Amino acid sequence: MFADWTAVIPVKRLSAAKSRLRGAVPPARHADLALAMVRDTATAVLAGSAVAELVVVTDDPVTATAVTELGARVVPDRPGADLNEAMRFGADEAAGLDRFRVVMTGDLPALRPEQLDEALATAQGRSFVADAAGTGTVLLAAPPGVPLGPRFGLGSAVAHAASGATPLAGDWPGLRQDVDTPADLAVVLALGAGRHTCALLRDLGLTVSCAPAA
C-alpha cells in the first residue's frame, strides 16, 4: 500500500484535555495520561504504510515537542475554536484539499498500525469509522477535492452518516476504542495499550497486566 494519506489529529491544551477521564489517575498525572495516549496514537499512525504525513493541530507546547520527536508536523490551532474547526483547519487548510486526508481523535492508545491501514484501504469517498459504542466517531476521511465537513461531538456517527459520509465496517477494536472515561481505559488495557500509556500506568502502580500494543 502506498503512503497516500495525510492524517490530522487535533489536541487540546493538556490542562483542559479529557475532562471525563479525570479520576482514572492521580490529578497531578492527568495531563501525563492524556499526553501518553496522544503519543501512542501518533506512534501507531506513523508506523503504518498508508499515512505519509501526520499533522497535529495544537497550541500545547508539551504536546508539540512530543509529537515532533515522533515525526509529526505541528501547526498551531489558528482557529482557536472547537474540535470540528481544528479538524477542518488541519485537513482542508494545513494539509490541503489536494490531498487524501483523514482526521482522527488522539485518544486511541490501543490502535494498531495495520488496523488504520485496513480502514483507509476500504475508504471510498468521504467516509468514517464509528467508535466501539456505535454512537461516536474516531475517524473521518475525505479524498482530494472533497471538504472534510467534520461533525464530531454527541451523536456524531449519525450526524456523519446524515451528511453523506459512508460508514466503514471492519473488525478494528483498537481503532474504534477511544478513551473518554475510566471504564474506557480499562477496555483499552484489556486490548493492549501502547507503550507510553502502559509505562505511565506501571509507573503509578495501577496495572501489572498491561500488554503493549504490537
Known binding-site residue numbers: 137, 153, 156
Cα–Cα nearest to 7, from 47, 36, 34, 45? 45
Number of residues that this document lists for the chain:
214
Known binding-site residues for phosphoenolpyruvate equal 137, 153, 156
The side-by-side arrangement of strands in the sheet containing 73-75 is 73-75, 51-58, 5-11, 100-104, 137-142, 127-130, 166-167
What is the maximum alpha-carbon separation in the chain?
Answer: 49
Which amino acid would we find at residue 133?
A: A
| Spatial separation of the C-alpha atoms in residues 183 and 165, rounded to whole Å | 29
Three-class secondary structure of residue 110 per DSSP: coil
What is the helix, strand, coil percentage profile of the chain, to 5? Answer: 45, 15, 40
